[in-house]
Structure 1
C-alpha cells in the first residue's frame, strides 16, 4: 500500500493529522536525499543531545553524527550568575545528561574513517567529570583529533582546583592532545599545578587562565614549545615569567595584583601582538615599557587604562627603540577624559615604523568608581589621572615618516583633544587619513550623566576650523563618521 499523499485532499480534511503526517514524511524524504555535506552542516548546528538523537530518524541519518568534523560537548549553561545557585545534584544531573550523548557521539565513531577536526569539551567540575574525561581520553587515543579544547568553570577556586587536579591525574590522555585549553576560577597546586598542565598538554597552542593561580602572589614560569597564544586575566600571580615560548605570537595580560613589574619576557622571539589591560591603583608601579618588554620586538600594541591613572611612563626614543622599532599599530584605549593627551606623542617618537595610531578617550561611567570615599577605600587615586606623567616635547623639526592613519574616538572638539590631533598632524610627514569619532554609546551611562560633574573639570572647547583647515593645507583627509560638527 502506497504512503498517503496530501495531493487531492479536500479542504475539509487538508489539515487532518493524516495530512500532517504525510507532509512530514515527504519533508523527511527530501531531507534524507540531501548530500552528506548538507546533512552534516544541519546536524553540526544542533547541540550535542539533539545531534545524537538524529540517528533514530532514519537509516540514512544513522551514520551522519559519526561523520561530524566538529563536536561541541557542553554541560549546562556557562553563566557565572546562574551557576552560583547550582547544587551538587544539579551538576550531577547536567553531567549525566550530556555524558549519555557524549558516549553516543564518540563511541559510535569507532568504525568511522572521518577525522574530528575540532573536539570541544565544556563541563562542570563535580560528579560525572571523570566519566566524561575518560570517554574523551579514549577518543583521543583511538582516533585522529585535529584540535581539542577544554573549558571548565566554577566559583570556589580552592575546592575545584583540587577537583581539576584529580581530573587531570585520572585522565591525562584527555589532555595530551589538547590544542586549546581554557580554565576559570581555579587554584592549582603551589608547586606543580600549572607547570604540570604544560608538561602533559604537549600539543597546546592556546591557553586562557581567568582568575587562576597557584596560591595568592605565587610565581608562574611558562615554557612550552608550541604555545602560540596566551591569555592571563585577573590572575593573582606576583609575577609571570615567560621563560621559553619560541612560537608565542599573541599575549593578553590583564588586571594584575603585584606592586612591582608583574611580567617578564625572556625568550619570546615571535611575539607580535601584545594587549595589556589594567586598572591602576595607588600602590601599583608606573611601568617603563622598555624594561617591561625586555628584548621583545612587537608589531601590535594595545594598552587599556580602564579610565583610571595612566600606568605607563613616557620614555625617550633611544630607550624604546629595541621594543618599538618594528611597531606598526598602536591602540591606547579608555583614557580618562580628564587626562591631557600630549604625552601620547612619546609613542610616535619611539616607534619609527608606526603606521596607525588609535586613541580612545572615554569615561565609561557605569563601570567607574566615582564616589571619593569609595575610591579611597579601593585604593584608587583622587589625584588627576595623568598627574605623574612627565613628557618632554620633541624638537620642532621632528618628523615621523611612516604614520598614515590616525583614529581618535571620543572626539568632542575639546581643546586638549584638538591639540593632540594637531601635534600628530604637524609631526607626521606621511599622514593620509584622520578619523574622528564620537565616544561610544552606552545605555547605562545615560542614567549616570550627573557624575560627569566629578569627571569633567576645566573643560575647554575648541572650534573645528583649525584642524579642518590644517588637513586641507597638509593634504590630509579628515573623516567625521557620525560626528556632530559642533558637538
Structure 2
C-alpha cells in the first residue's frame, strides 16, 4: 500500500513539473512560439493547438503553412533532396496522405480572422483519391485570399533506377491531370518539385504548364524527368521568372536553354550521353553552374568554351567527373575571354587518380 502511495505521489509530482514546464513555454511571446511552430510543421502545430487555448490560434498567424506528407509518415523521414528510404508498401503513403488530408481540412476549410498566412508549402503523394480532397482545399484557400504563393512538391518514394517506363508515363498523366484540375494553383506556384515523370507525347504539354501557366515560378526541380530516351528539350521563355533550375537523372540527350533571362543558378546531374548535353542561348543572369559529367574513354572531346557559349556572367562553376578518366587540354585565352572573364570560384571534383593534363 505504501508503495502504491509512493507511485501516486511521484506521478503527481511529475505531472505538476510538466504543467510548470508547459506554463513556462506558453509564457513565451507570440513571435517566439510562432518561430517554433514554423519549424515544426503542420503535424506538430495541429497536436499543440488542440489541447491548449494559448496555442490554439497560433498556427493561423504563421506566415507560411507547411503541409508535408512526410511529416505524417509513422517513421522519421529525411528532408529533400534525400529520398524516403525503406518504404516497400504504399500502405504507409496512404496513411500519411489520410492524416495530411484530415489536418489540412481542419486548417483550411475556415479562414480564421486575423490570419496572416500567405505562403503554403505543400508536399503530397498521388496515391488513392486524396488529391481530390487536397486540391479543392488549396483551391479555396487561394480563392479566399489566404494563400498567395504555393511551394508544391509532388513526391515519389521510388529511386530512378527502380522506375519502369510505363509507371513514369502514368505518373506524368496523373500529375498533368492534377495540375489541370485546379488551374488557379498554377499562377501561385513559386517553387515546384516533380519526380519520376516521362511525357510520352513530348515535353511541350508540360512545358506549357511550367512556363506559360506558372507565371510566378522561380525554382524548378526535376528528378528523373524526360520525354523518352535521347529526347531534346528546348526552353525559350523570355518572360519567365525562373531563377533556379535543378535537373537530376534525366534521359534528355540535350537541353537547350535558349532564353531564360532571370535564370541565376543551374544544377545539372547526371551527364550520361556522348555529347555536350547543355547549350545556352540568352541567359544574362546566370551566375552559378553545377555540372556532373559521367565521362569515359568513349566520349568524344568537347570544348568548355563551346558549352558555356552564351553564359558569360558565371562567377561560380562546379564540375564533377565522378572519378572517371579524362583528358583536359588547355583552351587558353579563348575560354577566358568567352566564359571565364567573371569567374570567381572554380571547383572540380571526382577526377581520376591518374589524371593527365596538357
- The TM-score, its normalising length taken from structure 2, stands at 0.83
Tell me if 1:162 matches 2:173.
Answer: yes
2:287 alignment counterpart:
272
- 2: CA distance, partners of 1:92 / 1:14: 41
- 2: CA distance, partners of 1:134 / 1:266: 40
Structure 1: give runs of 5+ residues left out of the alignment.
1-10, 344-390, 392-487
Deviation for aligned residue 1:80: 4.4
Contact 1:308/1:336 (8 A) holds in 2: yes
Which residue among 34, 50, 65 is the counterpart of 1:40?
34
1:290 alignment counterpart:
305
Tell me if 1:111 matches 2:113.
Answer: yes
Tell me if 1:49 matches 2:63.
Answer: no
Distance 1:115-1:312 versus aligned 2 partners, 3 A rule: farther
Tell me if 1:211 matches 2:227.
Answer: no
| CA deviation string 1:319-343 (max 9, x = no partner) | 5412111212111111111113xx3
- 2: CA distance, partners of 1:134 / 1:250: 33
RMSD: 2.5
Distance 1:220-1:56 versus aligned 2 partners, 3 A rule: same
1:120 alignment counterpart:
121
- 2: CA distance, partners of 1:275 / 1:65: 38
Asked which structure has the greater RCO (Cα within 8 Å, sep 6+), the reply is 2
Contact 2:234/2:255 (8 A) holds in 1: yes
Contact 2:243/2:264 (8 A) holds in 1: yes
Deviation for aligned residue 1:283: 4.1
Which residue among 133, 136, 139 is the counterpart of 2:138?
136
1:202 alignment counterpart:
215
Structure 2: give runs of 5+ residues left out of the alignment.
71-76, 159-166
- 1: CA distance, partners of 2:270 / 2:21: 54
Distance 1:56-1:255 versus aligned 2 partners, 3 A rule: closer
2:66 alignment counterpart:
72
- The TM-score, its normalising length taken from structure 1, stands at 0.62
1:249 alignment counterpart:
264
Deviation for aligned residue 1:288: 0.6
Deviation for aligned residue 1:53: 2.5
Deviation for aligned residue 1:167: 0.9
Distance 1:60-1:21 versus aligned 2 partners, 3 A rule: same
- 2: CA distance, partners of 1:239 / 1:162: 23
- 2: CA distance, partners of 1:324 / 1:25: 62
Deviation for aligned residue 1:48: 2.0
| CA deviation string 1:327-384 (max 9, x = no partner) | 12111111111113xx3xxxxxxxxxxxxxxxxxxxxxxxxxxxxxxxxxxxxxxxxx
- 2: CA distance, partners of 1:257 / 1:336: 17
Deviation for aligned residue 1:282: 4.1
Deviation for aligned residue 1:71: 2.3
Deviation for aligned residue 1:289: 1.3
2:352 alignment counterpart:
336
Which residue among 177, 196, 201 is the counterpart of 1:185?
196
Distance 1:100-1:238 versus aligned 2 partners, 3 A rule: same
Contact 1:138/1:173 (8 A) holds in 2: no
Paired residue secondary structure (1:42): helix
Aligned length: 329
- Name the structure where strand makes up a greater proportion of residues: 2
More deviation, 280-289/266-275: 280-289
